C-alpha cells in the first residue's frame, strides 16, 4: 500500500482518538474525586476512634455515606475505563478494516455504541457524588429523600416549590 492510500486510512482511524482524550480527562476528574472521598474517610475513621459516644454515631453515618459515594465513583471509573478500552479497540478495528478492505460496519457500530453506553452509564454513576458535595457537613453532605419547601416571591404573588437536593443550603 502506498502513502497516498494510507493517509486517509489513518485520518479515519484517528478520529475516535479525540474521545480517548476526553474520557481521559473525565477519568482524571473521577480519580481525583475518589481520592478526596478516601482522604475524608480516613479522617472520619480517625475521628470515630477518638470521638465521644454522642459524636460517634454522626461520624459513622458520614462514613456510610462516603462508602456509598466511593462505590459509585469506583463503578464510574471502571465503566469509563471500559469506554477507553472500547475506543482503543474501535481505532484498531477501523485501521485494520480500512487497511485490509474488510466490510465491518456492523461490528464498528456495535463497538462505538458500547463505548458510548459505557461512558453514559459512567457519568450517570458519577453524578450523585456531585449532588452530595454541597450538602450540610453535619450530615456528611447528602440528604437523600429530604424535601424542603421554600417560598419564592414574584411580582404577581407567592409560589411554593419543592427544593429537594437542588437547594441543599435552604434550612427548614
State the burial class of residue 159 (Cβ atoms within 10 Å of its Cβ: 0-12, 13-18, 19+). exposed
Report the SS3 class of residue 51. Answer: coil
Give the model confidence (pLDDT) of 63-119 as tens digits: 999 999 999 999 999 999 999 999 999 989 988 888 888 888 899 999 999 999 999
Percent with pLDDT over 90 in the chain: 40
Sorted by where each begins, the domain ranges of the chain are: 3-139, 142-172
Instruction: Check the CA dihedral 35-29-77-73 and report its sign.
Output: positive
Q: Which residues contact 44 (CB under 8 A, 6 or more apart)?
A: 59, 62, 63, 66
20 vs 153, more confident: 20
Alpha-carbon Rg for the chain, nearest whole angstrom, is 24
C-alpha grid cell for residue 129? 457524588
Residue 151 has pLDDT above 50, yes or no: no
pTM flag (> 0.75)? no
Q: Sign (positive/negative) of CA torsion 99, 103, 105, 106?
A: negative
Q: How far apart are the first and last CA of the chain?
A: 72
121 vs 118: CA distance, rounded Å: 5
How does pLDDT run across 117-129, given as a tens digit for each residue?
999 999 999 987 6
Highest mean pLDDT pick, 4-8, 159-163, 167-171: 4-8
CA nearest to 69, candidates 133, 146, 145? 133
What angle do the packed helices 53-100 and 17-50 form, to 10 degrees? 160
Comparing 13 with 48, the larger pLDDT belongs to 48
Neighbouring CB atoms inside 10 A of 111's CB total 20
pLDDT tens digits, one per residue of 5-33: 777 777 777 778 888 889 999 999 999 99
pLDDT at 159 over 50: no
Report pLDDT for 137. 45
Amino acid at each position: 500500500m502506498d502513502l497516498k492510500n494510507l493517509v486517509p486510512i489513518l485520518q479515519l482511524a484517528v478520529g475516535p482518538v479525540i474521545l480517548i482524550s476526553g474520557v481521559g480527562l473525565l477519568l482524571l476528574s473521577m480519580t481525583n474525586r475518589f481520592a478526596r472521598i478516601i482522604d475524608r474517610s480516613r479522617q472520619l475513621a480517625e475521628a470515630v476512634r477518638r470521638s465521644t459516644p454522642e459524636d460517634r454515631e454522626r461520624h459513622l453515618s458520614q462514613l456510610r455515606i462516603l462508602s456509598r459515594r466511593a462505590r459509585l465513583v469506583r463503578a464510574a471509573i471502571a465503566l469509563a475505563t471500559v469506554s477507553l478500552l472500547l475506543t482503543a479497540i474501535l481505532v484498531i478495528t477501523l485501521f485494520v478494516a480500512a487497511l485490509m478492505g474488510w466490510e465491518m460496519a456492523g461490528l464498528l457500530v456495535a463497538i462505538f455504541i458500547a463505548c458510548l453506553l459505557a461512558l453514559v452509564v459512567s457519568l450517570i454513576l458519577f453524578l450523585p457524588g456531585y449532588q452530595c458535595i454541597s450538602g450540610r457537613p453535619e450530615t456528611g453532605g447528602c440528604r437523600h429523600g429530604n424535601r424542603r419547601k421554600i417560598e419564592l416571591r414574584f411580582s404577581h404573588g407567592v409560589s411554593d416549590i419543592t427544593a429537594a437536593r437542588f437547594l441543599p443550603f435552604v434550612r427548614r
